[in-house]
Structure 1
């Protein structure tokens, strides 16, 4: 995953509300390079014992930075 991250324009991530043990972890990424396009929260329930957010991040571009009034470059 880490080697493909520079080529991605969109990230679809599930962000858990608490830490869990496991052997698969998304690599660290510079969040300031990404805009949160959408987020849907799922409360803990019988099917999902841990609350989580489904997040869609879009890579920031010069145009998106100008629309926000800041510059990532």
Structure 2
């Protein structure tokens, strides 16, 4: 496998396939998980969460693509 960069990491076959299937298969399960977890842990009040889950995959013998998180 070629060494990935920030520019090429999002164009892998895996990345493309995951996000094509994500809308119909992953996102509904993710929303159900977040809603049930939030209700159980936080109560019935409102909470905010990322609408589309972001998964980080680090391929063997490669580098982690992206920057350190800086959001609060």
TM-score range (shorter-chain normalised) is: under 0.3
Higher strand share: 1
Q: Which has the larger radius of gyration?
A: 2
Q: TM-score, normalised by structure 2?
A: 0.23
More RCO (CA 8 Å, sep 6+): 2
